[in-house]
Amino acid sequence: MKLRIRLLTAFIVGSSFAILPVQARAAADDIITVDKVMTHDPVMIKEKDTYYLFATGQGISVMSSRDMKNWKFEPSVFAEAPQWAVDLIDGYNGHTWAPDVIYHGGLYHLFYSCSAFGKNTSAIGHATTPTLDRKDPRFKWTDHGKVIQSVPNRDSWNAIDPNIIIDEKGTPWMSFGSFWDGIKLVRLTDDLNAVAEPQEWYSISRRQRSVNVKAEDAGDGAVEAPFIMKHGEYYYLFVSFDYCCRGLKSDYKVAVGRSKKVCGPYLDRDGKSMEHGGGTILVKGNKDWAGIGHCAAYEFDGKSYFIAHAYSTKENGTPKLIIREINWTSDGWPEVEIY
């Protein structure tokens, strides 16, 4: 099918630093191959025989596929910006960053980031639906509002880039963070709507910031986009180092560590804690991709998958969807081939 293109000017931002590209998008009934999918901050889930991709975009971008190779655009999650976020976050206009999706307790839970560029005036929201199939009469996104908020000069962390994992005891946890003082982990209530009491907070990954950076500034401790995956006896923490969203100047890369406890400490292959700057580089840019990052990792039908966005050198730094299989070494470390 010939691709019918319309231009959509959008903020494509999943971190504290961004550019403003013009994104090409297919008409609603078009099928496009994976190599044509432009995206930032993708996450995925499977319901029955369909994969659903959620990503940064106006109202949260959504696509669907039966094979992870051919994708169709779906309507955005939110037709209008959540009013609680518009009222709370100065500068937020509905362009919503870095979602995460998980199935838990009979519902699909979507977490999303509301922020303003370069500030930690941020909040993470939460919405649910009983199904992702729009043809099902039960389909309806219900927004539950704010889960957590960061406030400048109060918090040394940034409430964006959420990721949810349910531990072996059935306890839900949310990791999140971008720049500032790194990646945090907090226990949630069973319905995933709020931080559980008494509160449990952990710092699980950080990089050293310059000593002269003001507290309200993001700084140069470039780590963000956490994703925790359980494989075998370990929890694996994936994070993104360095800078996204700069086209061909992007130097994004993914680092990983592991722990037998969801709260860490996460150690890299050399035994260094990620909370103290550690992290084994899993993927980085090459001749085809300027930078690769903001990843997610899943197991579908007995195979492990790595998904991320990467900046194509052949297309002048256009952000593209990357889906690759994860191979596991004999001592239990992930390896991903980027081509």
Active-site residue set: 41, 224
Contact 77, 59 (CB under 8 A): yes
The pair of structure tokens assigned to 266 is: 């996460």
* CB 305, CB 311: distance < 8 Å: no
Q: State how far the Cα of 312 lies from the Cα of 320, in Å rounded to an integer.
A: 7
Helix, strand, coil percentages for the chain (3-state, nearest 5): 5, 50, 50
**Backbone angles phi and psi of 83, in degrees to 5:** -65, -35
**HSE, side-chain direction, 13 A CA sphere, residue 72:** 13
Q: Cite the DSSP H helix spans in the chain.
A: 83-88
Sheet-wide strand order for 234-241: 223-231, 234-241, 253-259, 280-283
Residue 35, phi then psi, degrees to nearest 5: -70, -10
Instruction: Report whether the peptide linkage leading into residue 198 is cis, meaning its omega lies within 30 degrees of zero.
Output: yes
Residue 238 CA to residue 294 CA, distance in Å, equals 9
Structure tokens belonging to residue 75: 């309507």
Helix (H) / strand (E) element for 225: namely strand 223-231
- The residue to which tokens 């509002």 are assigned: 145
Q: Which residue in 313, 331, 311 sits closest to 321, CA to CA?
A: 311
